[in-house]
Amino acid sequence: MATGRIRSDWRTNLRAHSAEILNTPAEIGDVLATDILAGIAAARAEGKLFLLGCPSGRSPKPVYDAMADKAAAGNLDLSNLVLVMMDEYLGGGEDGLGLCPPDAHNSCRRFAEHDIRRRLNAGIETAHQIPKEHVWFPDATDPGAYDARIQAAGGVDLFILASGATDGHVAFNPPGSPADGPSCIVKLAEETRRDNLGTFPDFPSLDAVPHHGLTVGLGTISNLSKAVALVIHGTHKREAASRLTQSDSFDPQWPATIIHRCKQVRILLDTAAAGKI
């Protein structure tokens, strides 16, 4: 199958006045899930795959939950959906640069299987389910091959993005990451590691958080996506929301500003994150 396209009316070059502010994370999830599911259906009608760039963690979970609820209610066909996962923790092997165990509490592969694929498949018939081979991850032994795979498939129809609360990281790209960077192995910034203490409360301390990660690059996001949707919610993300909605160009010290290099951009905030925006 070739890939489909997300709706062409999504906003571009968003600033503070045009960010969508909704009451709750659940409302963000409902609005974005409706459009994603419409895109999946449109692609399927044309015999195409729909590639969805998926982060792990708290920010996108309301979107996945809403997609699952809507899919179950309508027995929707998701068999053409491809989950293009954004990152994974390292820490295995003698050099510490092998993948973390897939059943680790912080594993993005575990999240992809349990919190996305199985969650979306739970309420729909077998023929409509997302097959395991439609869950993609970069390869730690050849990260750049991931970009080639995405490009060969026609690009990501929509990347769901989240921003680090204190340093603006996207996936595992730390401050200072190049705008055209490919998928790669990176050393995790200390602020990124601190953010993950909140995302994964089973970490007993900062010392237990991995120091390296496998990630899509900022260039993977900006160059290989047709559209992006940046999701920010919670009072702890208020600084991130302010930085992003007030920016007008890419700032390497706040990687989430890569949205200014993307083709179609949508920002969705809840009232807690929006504050006085």
Distance CA 40, CA 234 (A): 28
Confidence at residue 4, expressed as pLDDT on a 0 to 100 scale: 46
244-257 exposure pattern, b = at least 16 Cβ within 10 A, e = fewer? bbebeebbbebbbb
In a domain, 79, yes or no: yes
Tell me the residue length of the chain.
Answer: 277
Half-sphere exposure of 85 (CA within 13 A, CB side): 25
Helix (H, G, I), strand (E, B) or coil at 261: helix
User: What is the domain count for the chain?
Assistant: 1
In a domain, 13, yes or no: no
| Nearby residues of 201 by Cβ (< 8 Å), 6 or more positions away | none
Contact 137, 224 (CB under 8 A): no
**CATH number of the domain residue 155 falls in:** 3.40.50.1360
In a domain, 177, yes or no: yes
Confidence at residue 195, expressed as pLDDT on a 0 to 100 scale: 79
In a domain, 14, yes or no: no
**Domain containing 196: what range?**
19-274
| Nearby residues of 141 by Cβ (< 8 Å), 6 or more positions away | none
DSSP label at residue 17: G
Q: Of 96, 95, 103, 68, whose CA–CA distance to 83 is shortest? A: 68
In a domain, 121, yes or no: yes
| Nearby residues of 91 by Cβ (< 8 Å), 6 or more positions away | 98, 100, 210, 211, 212
In a domain, 6, yes or no: no
Give me the average pLDDT of each 10-residue run along the chain (277 residues).
43 53 98 98 98 95 98 98 96 78 92 97 98 97 97 98 94 96 93 81 88 96 98 96 94 97 97 92
Confidence at residue 15, expressed as pLDDT on a 0 to 100 scale: 42
Task: Specify burial of residue 100 (Cβ count, 10 A radius: 0-12, 13-18, 19+).
Answer: buried
Confidence at residue 1, expressed as pLDDT on a 0 to 100 scale: 54
E-strand spans in 93-187? Answer: 98-99, 135-136, 158-161, 184-187
In a domain, 7, yes or no: no
In a domain, 1, yes or no: no
Confidence at residue 54, expressed as pLDDT on a 0 to 100 scale: 98
Q: How far is CA 56 from the centre of its chain?
A: 6
